[in-house]
Amino acid sequence: MAPSRKSDVSLLFSLPVIVAALGYFVDIYDLLLFGIVRVPSLKSLGLTDAEVSNVGVMIFNWQMAGLLLGGILWGVLGDKKGRLSVLFGSIITYSLANVACGFIPQVTFMSQTDYYALMRFIAGVGLAGELGAGITLVSEVLPKELRAIGTSLVAGVGLFGAVVAYFTVEIFNDWSIAYFVGGGLGFGLLLLRVGVSESGMFKEVAGQQQVIKGDFLSFFTNRDRFLRYMKCIGIGLPTWFVIGILATFSNEIGQALGIVGGIKPGLSIMWCYVGLASGDLASGFVSQWMASRRKAVAFFMVFSLLVSTVCLFGQIQNAATFYALAVASGFGIGYWAMFVTIGAEQFGTNLRATAATTVPNMVRGTVILMTMLFKDLKPSLGVLVSAAAVGFICYAIGFYSTYTISETHGKDLDFLEK
């Protein structure tokens, strides 16, 4: 059901929603930039093709580790100090780290690749806070009838940051300038955030001294809460299989398929995010129409599984078809915003930011395991079967989690975790 009243439209385009969307735009720009410039940046530092593959995975994993750690840090701070404190602190952290990445060619005091990994780790820590805090804030300021559409707008607009990142690299033809641009966008966004107000639900809970807020360990001390938390993570696994394996290592997949001219990972990532942005915009309306978060997620997940199978075993003959499938696979994982919203809706106000921030970053962190498994299986199974094996695990967990988690469509969020 689409918003029809003027008040609904004004709420969907209110300052918190706009700023959250632009914040996620910058977040995605910076998050995906390394994947886009991975090959050219490492080659410019003098690495061989074999070194580019190995060192690239190492740096990528350090960035994912930063996201994992940062998700916990910012999630706890979001429930203890407020949603806005995270939105300010995280963007300062990753903006400084991205500017520092632009100076990598001039680094002489340590190994350039080690410095690169360190800066991507710090950037990962900063990037971890953006989406969860933004989705939490938007979920709490919008009425329950508009939550799905509002969070989809945030993600749909934000995900086009990957497209801008790709074309920034192409226009300037210099990966270091692309990092400077990302840092500049981040600092510019800080000015917009000055006028955003804190969530009313958080303000109410903040004054209750007896309520324990942002206790990350509490996800593991109660069976029901633990299962909810793990299922939230499970739902998101297929999304980063598509991004972290199919798109990021699309050059290796293209070579295994025998595609003439090869496949550019940066271009695959860009087209994947074009589809992902479109899917995220659609998923909110699909959820409203179906009156169910679970049914909407299952619909997109099935579509994603079918497209991923075609990508690996459909005997693709040319690059154009592969890139078209990248768009389709991105659309299939367009339930990303819905998945984060489910994470926010599953838990009370005193743990909501911790859940909404850590859940997507736990999923991003699992990419480390995915890439390690993919790398270990390749010598014996080959690129295509290895990717399929990783995908099978991710989709199996994803479908189980979606089927067994409780429905949150229309749920009142004004409650606490005891």
* pLDDT digit string, tens, across residues 9-63: 677 777 778 888 888 888 888 887 887 888 888 888 888 877 887 888 888 889 8
Domain 6-192+215-404: CATH superfamily is MFS general substrate transporter like domains (1.20.1250.20)
Confidence of residue 300 (pLDDT cuts 50, 70, 90): very high
| Alpha carbon distances (Å) from 413 to 297, 348, 350 | 20, 7, 11
Q: Count other C-beta atoms under 10 Å from residue 389's C-beta.
A: 14
Up-side HSE of residue 6: CA atoms within 13 Å toward CB?
Answer: 0
- Higher model confidence: residue 91 or residue 201? 91
Most confident of 31-35, 295-299, 364-368: 295-299
pLDDT for the residue numbered 391: 95
User: Which residues fall within 8 angstroms of residue 17, CB to CB, at 6 or more apart?
Assistant: 11, 138, 142, 150, 153, 154
Q: What is the pTM of this model?
A: 0.76
Q: Count other C-beta atoms under 10 Å from residue 45's C-beta.
A: 17
pLDDT for the residue numbered 211: 53
Q: 204 pLDDT exceeds 70? A: no
User: Which residues fall within 8 angstroms of residue 247, CB to CB, at 6 or more apart?
Assistant: 35, 265, 268, 269, 272, 326, 329
Q: 6 pLDDT exceeds 50? A: no
| Arithmetic mean of pLDDT over the chain | 83
User: 34 near 60, Cβ under 8 Å?
Assistant: yes
Mean pLDDT (whole number) for 166-174: 85
Q: Which residue, among 133, 123, 100, 112, has the nearest Cα to 32 in the 3D structure?
A: 123
pLDDT for the residue numbered 292: 86
